[in-house]
Amino acid sequence: MNESELDRYSRQLLLPNFDIQGQLNLAQAKVLVIGLGGLGNIAATYLATSGVGYLILADGDQLESSNLPRQVLYDESQIGLNKVDAAAKQIALKNQAVKVEVIAQKLSGDSLLNAVEQADVVLDCTDNFTARQAINRACLSLKKPLVSAAAIRWEGQLVSFLYHQHSAPCYECLYPSLSDQQLSCNESGIVAPVVGLLGVYQALEALKLASGCGKVKHGVLRLFDGFEGEWREMRLTQDPECLACS
């Protein structure tokens, strides 16, 4: 690390269980963020400013004005742009040392497998079940750690799967069947700080995985109720009929 980097990341380097080795691990890590909406824009921002060396940003959507209350990485001048291009520009302003690869399309099939294969950690920040199921199966087959989150109305949830260490349970054990309609913020609404909080939590889990510092629990579902201000936690078990991991 050079003098500028030592100064920039000095507050993280002060942590006795992180220090220089943790920062060096971050700089060498490659993190895939799938979905640059309410979750992904926040997670990508914190990963970039924390010093992750390489970010792969994947999203096929363009920025709309209705996104701005939740997607605070962007500004009004970027409405109509591809989210990945807008995000890459904003991240470059925050930390030029981070290499950013953009994929301006929705990942599926071979493109999804190729992107997941490149990454050390995968963040599922998508907003539909079809994509989440495909991401789960890709990470499971390639043994890549997956950090998945979702938020709707006043509620949010987060769960991490350490597929490089465990093969079960998986995301489909939790949700074997769910329609995209049930996951839609367009229909049900969302409180902006709730999705921001979950995006920050995803970044924290990814930072711990990428740096090798801190504890990440496999298959532990964390549920947040923003209206009541309460967290709950439950440990998942493998579904013996799961089509993905059984």
How far is Cα 130 from Cα 229, in angstroms, rounded to an integer? Answer: 30
Catalytic residue among 185, 213, 242, 245: 185
Q: Which residues contact 16 (CB under 8 A, 6 or more apart)?
A: none
3-state SS, one letter per residue, for 166-181: CCCCCHHHHCCCCCHH
**CATH number of the domain located at residue range(s) 3-235 in this protein:** 3.40.50.720
* 185 among known catalytic residues: yes
pLDDT at 181 exceeding the cut of 70: no
Return the domain boundaries, the chain. 3-235
Number of H helices and number of E strands within the chain?
10, 8
Average pLDDT, the chain: 94
Task: Report, as an integer, the average pLDDT of 212-218.
Answer: 96
Q: What is the pLDDT of residues 27-65, one digit of tens each?
A: 999 999 999 999 999 999 999 999 999 999 999 999 999
- The first and second tokens of residue 171, run together, are 């995301």
Q: What is the pLDDT of residue 149?
A: 97
Q: What is the pLDDT of residues 124-157, one digit of tens each?
A: 999 888 999 999 999 999 999 999 999 999 999 9
